[in-house]
Structure formats: C-alpha cells, structure tokens
Chain A
Amino acid sequence: MGPIQQKITRKLEQQIAPEYLEVINESDMHNVPEGSESHFKISIVSDEFTGKALLAQHRMINAILKEELDKDIHALALHTYTPQQWQDINGVSPESPPCLGGSAK
C-alpha cells in the first residue's frame, strides 16, 4: 500500500470510525505512470451517515481528504453507506468506470 493510500485510510479510520472501509488504488486502470496514487475508490460504511443526505455524506469525506484532493487525488469514486444500506446491498459497491483518457485533474 502506497503512502497516500495509507494516509487516506488512516484519516478516515480516525475521523469517521467506519464499520467498513475499503480504499482501493485504481490508478493502474488509468493512463498514469506505474505505481501512481492518483485514482482511488473508497467504500465506507458508518453510522455517522445515518440521516444525512448523500451530498452531505460526500462533503464529510471531501473535507477530511481536502489536502489529498487538492494535491494528490485526480479522481475519487466515493461510495458512502449507512450500516443498514450496506446490509441492503449485500456489501457490494459499484464498479468504477473505465478510463477514457481525459487530461489532468
């Protein structure tokens, strides 16, 4: 696991206390140098999302990862769930789209 992936994982664990968290580096699906940490997919389940609109849930994560989003992360697939929702979808989040070769950020 690369340093940015570790940092994202640590920040989310500390600040959201997720019931489930998966941070996947999907950079190798994209047109970036090998070993890049630019494209991530995060699936996160937390009771802190209960009663909050999706936009507010994503804003929580964006705020926690502001530094990484400004500096390092080019693309972020973000899937937030309450424990109930996660149970309803049997613990599977959607697949990220393929790269179409778009330019920086």
Chain B
Amino acid sequence: MDVLERIQKQVDENPIVLYMKGTPQMPSCGFSSRTAQALQGCGVEFAYVNVLADPEVFENLPRFADWPTFPQVYINGELIGGCDITLELFQKGELQKMTKEAATGKENAEQG
C-alpha cells in the first residue's frame, strides 16, 4: 500500500490519532510529550503512531496534510494541529469536547 494511503487509513479508522516522536509512555521529544499528555488529560482513548519507528511515515506525513512538523493530531480524519494548537485547545477546554465527540461518534457508528 502506498504510504499516503496507509496514513489515510490510519486517520480514517481511528477517531483520534497522534503522530509523535516516541510513545506516550516514552516520548522522545518535548513537544510530542506535551501533546500526548494533553490527549491523555482528555480521558479518551487515542491511537498513536511513533514516527521514529516508521521512517516512511516520518518522511511523508508532512506532505499528507501540508504540515511541516511533528507531532500532528488528527480528529475524525482532520488535522487539528501540532503541539501549540493542541495545548491551546486543551487549555480552552475545546480539545476535551472534540475528543469526547469523536470517541462517542465512533461508538454510535459501531452500534448503528
């Protein structure tokens, strides 16, 4: 599968996806770490991709949504932003709402 198709599948199949350096348990970058903490603070499950362990995604994710840096957060297939935007949304309480809606939406879809 083409790498961009693979990324598309990841963001389609998971309501919340974090592309980060390292893992939420073992982050390799301060920006990735803070972003993972914000998502964890929302109390919802989220998928993550360690871009350091997937060189193809590392190389190609920036052109997937025309966003040059890591981390990147996707909700319902849409780029939300990097670390600074995610944290700002978290501080405003908006990230909590967005992630809850995304997680609930998935449950409803599964029931339907």
Which of A55, A62, A77 has a CB less than 8 Å from the CB of B83?
A77
Which residues of A have CB within 8 Å of B89? Answer: 54
When A62-B68, A69-B69, A102-B52 are in contact, do A77 and B31 touch as well, CB less than 8 Å? yes
Number of A-B contacts (CB under 8 A): 60
User: At the interface, yes or no: B32 with Cβ under 8 Å from chain A?
Assistant: yes
Interface string of A1-31 (1 = CB under 8 A from B): 0000000000000000000000000000000
From B21, B29, B87, name the one whose CB has the most chain A CB atoms within 10 angstroms: B29
Chain A residues positioned under 8 Å from B79 (CB to CB) = 55
Q: Roughly how many angstroms separate A96 CA and B63 CA in the complex, as a whole number?
A: 25
Q: How far is the CB of A81 from chain B (nearest CB, A)?
A: 10
> Which A residues touch B21, using CB under 8 A?
102-103
A99:B30 contact, CB within 8 angstroms: yes
Q: Count of A residues near B, CB < 8 Å? A: 23
Of chain A, the residue at the smallest CB distance from B68 is A69
Chain B contributes a number of interface residues (CB within 8 A of A) equal to: 27
Q: Is the CB of A75 within 8 A of B33?
A: no
User: Is A60 located at the chain interface by the 8 A CB criterion?
Assistant: no
Identity of the chain B residue whose Cβ is nearest the Cβ of A63 in the assembled complex: B66
By beta carbon, the residue of chain A nearest B20 is A102
Contact B85 A102 (CB under 8 A): no
**B26 vs chain A, min Cβ distance (A):** 9
Residues of B within 8 A of A (CB): 21-22, 27-34, 52, 58, 66-70, 79-85, 87-89
Pull 28 A–B residue pairs with CB atoms less than 8 Å apart, ordered by A. A54-B85, A55-B79, A55-B80, A55-B81, A58-B82, A58-B84, A69-B69, A70-B68, A75-B29, A76-B69, A77-B31, A77-B84, A78-B82, A78-B84, A94-B84, A94-B87, A96-B30, A97-B31, A97-B33, A97-B34, A99-B29, A100-B27, A102-B22, A102-B52, A103-B21, A103-B28, A105-B58, A105-B70
Residues of A at the B interface (CB closer than 8 Å) are 54-55, 58-59, 62, 66, 69-70, 75-79, 94, 96-103, 105
